[in-house]
Structure 1
Amino acid sequence: MKFRFLFMFLVLSGYGTVSMAQRVPEADSAVTTKHQVSSGGQRFAYTAKTGTQPVWDDKGKVLAAVNYTYYTRDDVRDLGKRPLVISFNGGPGSASVWMQLAYTGPRLLNIDDEGYPVQPYGFKENPYTILDVADIIYVNPVNTGYSRILDDKADRTLFFGTNADIRYLAEWLNTFVTRHNRWTSPKYLIGESYGTTRVSGLALELQNAQWMYLNGVILVSPTDLGIKREGAIEKALRLPYFTAAAWYHQQLSPQLQGRDLEDLLTEVEAFTLDKVLPAIARGYSINPGEKAAIIEKMSAYTSLSTTVIAQHNLDISTSFFWKELMRSEGFTVGRLDSRYLGLDLKDGGERPDYNAELTSWLHSFTPAINYYMMNELGYKTDVKYNMFGSVHPWDRSNDNTGASLRQAMAANPYLHVMVQAGYYDGATDYFNAKYNMWQMDPSGKLANRMSFKGYRSGHMMYLRKDDLMQATKDIRDFIRASTPKEGQPAKY
């Protein structure tokens, strides 16, 4: 009798699907809720479905549960024509909270217009959500969000590695698309940071192993995508980012500071490729006078002293730059977004004590996502939401994801790629993102299907309101441009 009463209490309390009394998620669960939002000049209803879907082995045994949130607009009559955006974040151990609550989703983190935390913590409607033009699924890979390995004997290498991650997620997406009847929908992948490695590899894996063809891939603050850049090229490509960060903090000369940022960066990019790269490559063989002139110019473009640049043999590491740029004023600058300032124990040293931007982001995102999942989406569980989960050791070998994305584009004439990058991102900087594009397609045969968009913020450029407005507009434009006219064949 007592057990029966407890069971009825749980059902009536709404815990029949996702239980609060467990520390691991159910393998297969879902909670569905109804909402409204205004975007694109319209107010419309949408459905949010959040839950878990299993990962099986080859024999059908459940190994893990992958947590997702799926948003669909309610007044859509033909899902076959409705774009589906599949969203991943990075890490590789990071949940998909960042873009869900601050970029493309229907709810927006409560922050100020530049992206800094404010209280009370929480969220509001996102008037810039792309849900007006596309449905969205946010996927949390194993050990991120509420996703977990369920079989204690499961081989961790099936999940934690560049290529393993791509393989199991492609299989998982096949199941999701089949369950939700989205095979005929135009499909897009969007990934941020390590998520760009993930979606670049997925583009080819979905195409070759799941026979699922995409219309577009959006790379937000991309990694190196397995494209090698050791030696002189790695050292030289940092310079335009240094200029952008120095410009933002008004450390440059009045003449340079008065220039428009993007106009100045065009000049610095040319100097980097034409002067700095060959100078570093030549090492001690360079003419001393030529070397001194290049150091003077680098000093002007970064605000670092000629002495410091000479002492580093023209090779300024990013970690040293974050410490050095504002050292005289007692601040460090952020790694992922150099607009953010930090305070170290000592002004001396070679690198900052902590990442000022990341602590700021966790400050505002963590309470918001936990409150949102339970109170608005009705997902009630004792499983901890992992902002960052343990996915180590991560096997990074055989990363050919940039080449995979190029191959997918070559084999699929419908497939377009857009890169979005913030000028103040010092971890995955914008100039290296451009270099990716040049090296992925050195022939230029795919150039008309590749585009670059730069923004005046950092790694998560959408945290700044002006960039959120522009970046979501850019996504809408990209979706429209990459949706072929009815009956248009995929051929060269």
Structure 2
Amino acid sequence: MTRPLHACLAAAMASFALGGAPALAQELAQDQDTLEIGRSAQTAHSGAFNGEEVRYDALVEESLLPGPDGAPGAGLVTTSYVRTDSGEPAGERPVLFLFNGGPGASTTPLHFGAFGPKRRVELDEGEQYIVDNPFSPLNDVDLVFIDPVGTGYSQPVEDGQAFWSRTGDAQSVARVIGSWLERHGRTDSPRYLLGQSYGTIRAAEIVRLAPELEFDGVLLFALVGGGRDELIGHVTDLPSMAATAWYHERAGRDGRPVEEVYADAVEFARTDYVTALMLGGALPEARREAMAERLSAMTGLEADAIAAQNLRISKRDFIFGLLEDEGLRTGRLDTRATARLDAPAQRPPYDDPGLSYVPAADIPDIACPAPDCLQAPGEESIVDVYYQDVLGYDAPGDYNALNLEVNGAWDYEDRGDPIPALAEAMHARPDLRLFWAAGYFDLATTAYGGRFTLDQAGIPADRLTAAYFKSGHSVFVGEDNLEALSEAVRDFTAPSE
């Protein structure tokens, strides 16, 4: 039976137009027909993914969204890869909608670093190539990469503020997803939603705002948690600090792999450590000193410094203190990365050595340049070259991978953690499942912080698939991680038997 996509959307959007863009919500709710398409391109391709030869179409489409006054407000560009030789009826083949976070970040990391049929690699300083991605899950699931308004080639007609809020953003993306399913005759297809970083908030908001889309599953990478007070924040940060100290050999390994170190730190954090923090000034001095020594052995920081901070280790103190004797700091998005403490100051997030970090051992062993390697001439963006030369898309400007103006203009609406709403949706729909992935070396959205958020929100444990990776914020960095992640995503989106 075809799923009704738009029967309740007007009421849902009107009901949840909170704070960010009520006028936009009303306009989006007025007309639920398939959105008009502006610029577009369609090309045919083939590739080998996970050992299987695949023919597929690539479709780049600019969906025209109305603004608060009913006039054209923005063009939101999606890039779809649809298998054409599977032999499956369209209604049986799953489709996965993907976006990154920011706010203001394009889908580039997921598109060209993880799941697209092509991926971007940098083999030498300043030289980037587009090469085949053998780990794309396209052999099993169709892919729709979404660049929210203000990112990629998606641009507002004039002022984009109506789209740059927690509600307005989620509504616009939900509207495009519904329109895509209608336009391409995929309203019977199993459908999945994947968000990374801030995209995890967007995904939860879409499930809340547009329940009629009836996703079969939601995938959250590097979950942005909320609602934790300062004390719990120290508890949930500790396991990632222990994993980082293990990586940099500043804590005793005793033959233990990082998985065991992390698990031991989780158990310690939610028992002895949280008890000590809750006691505060009532903690006897002898116990305080003993606890500081245990934390020192686990994190690599000096026991005296930990005790002086009342056993509370801030992220900043850890990042700048762990390798201070070497004149180094660690990254935040990926704590395996390092930079000189005396390095010239940079504007955030570019001051974080963990941004876009790839360990030398994980750089693909690819012989480029070669006929199957796409390279950008001069200063031109490799992504722009790919869209123009491979996908045939006539873009109106340059691809905007990271828009800090959007980030600065964002209205978070101060409505707290959206994950409880996702848990409510799962309780209302017993067939809705959740996949969550986290990196051991991510100190921005820590692994235990993500799990704590899910548990406290009431996510049903029997419908949660949890996956941990030896990575930072981007769980797909490194071919071993990418191969394992691709398999896990294909398993999660596979039709149930």
TM-score tier, shorter chain, comes to: 0.7 to 0.9
Deviation at 1:381, TM superposition (A): 2.9
* TM-score computed with the length of structure 2 as normaliser: 0.83
Contact 2:384–2:398 (CA under 8 A) maintained in structure 1? no
How many residues get paired?
Answer: 437
* TM-score computed with the length of structure 1 as normaliser: 0.84
Where do residues 64-463 of structure 1 align in structure 2 (5 Å cutoff)?
64-77=74-87, 78-111=89-122, 120-152=127-159, 156=161, 158-207=162-211, 211-224=212-225, 227-253=226-252, 256-345=253-342, 354-358=351-355, 360=357, 367-389=381-403, 390-391=405-406, 392-396=408-412, 397-441=414-458, 446-463=460-477
Contact 1:36–1:43 (CA under 8 A) maintained in structure 2? yes
Cross-structure match for 2:369: none
Asked whether 1:471 is paired with 2:485, we answer: yes
SS state of the match for residue 304, structure 1? coil
Gaps of 5+ in 1: 1-25, 486-492
Runs of 4+ deviating beyond 6 Å = none
SS state of the match for residue 80, structure 1? coil
SS state of the match for residue 307, structure 1? helix
SS state of the match for residue 289, structure 2? helix
Deviations 1:30-79, CA, capped at 9 Å, x for gaps:
11111111013211111111131111147752110001101101113411
Q: Could you say if the C-alpha distance between residues 120 and 151 of structure 1 is closer, same or farther in structure 2, counting changes exceeding 3 Å?
A: closer
1:346 and 1:309 map into 2 onto residues whose CA distance is: 26
Q: Could you say if the C-alpha distance between residues 471 and 353 of structure 1 is closer, same or farther in structure 2, counting changes exceeding 3 Å?
A: closer
Where do residues 479-490 of structure 1 align in structure 2 (5 Å cutoff)?
479-480=493-494, 483-485=495-497
Deviation at 1:258, TM superposition (A): 2.1
Contact 2:77–2:146 (CA under 8 A) maintained in structure 1? yes
Deviation at 1:346, TM superposition (A): 6.7
Deviation at 1:215, TM superposition (A): 0.8
2:390 and 2:125 map into 1 onto residues whose CA distance is: 20
Cross-structure match for 1:4: none
Q: Could you say if the C-alpha distance between residues 238 and 58 of structure 1 is closer, same or farther in structure 2, counting changes exceeding 3 Å?
A: closer
Which residue identity is paired with 2:57?
T
Q: Could you say if the C-alpha distance between residues 164 and 257 of structure 1 is closer, same or farther in structure 2, counting changes exceeding 3 Å?
A: farther
1:353 and 1:125 map into 2 onto residues whose CA distance is: 28
SS state of the match for residue 451, structure 1? strand
Contact 2:190–2:216 (CA under 8 A) maintained in structure 1? yes
Gaps of 5+ in 2: 1-35, 364-375
Deviations 1:337-389, CA, capped at 9 Å, x for gaps:
11111123279xxx99921122657xx99943233222221223341211112
SS state of the match for residue 454, structure 2? helix
Q: CA RMSD in A?
A: 2.4
1:310 and 1:228 map into 2 onto residues whose CA distance is: 27
Contact 1:344–1:352 (CA under 8 A) maintained in structure 2? no
2:264 and 2:356 map into 1 onto residues whose CA distance is: 34
Contact 2:419–2:453 (CA under 8 A) maintained in structure 1? yes
Which residue identity is paired with 2:436?
V
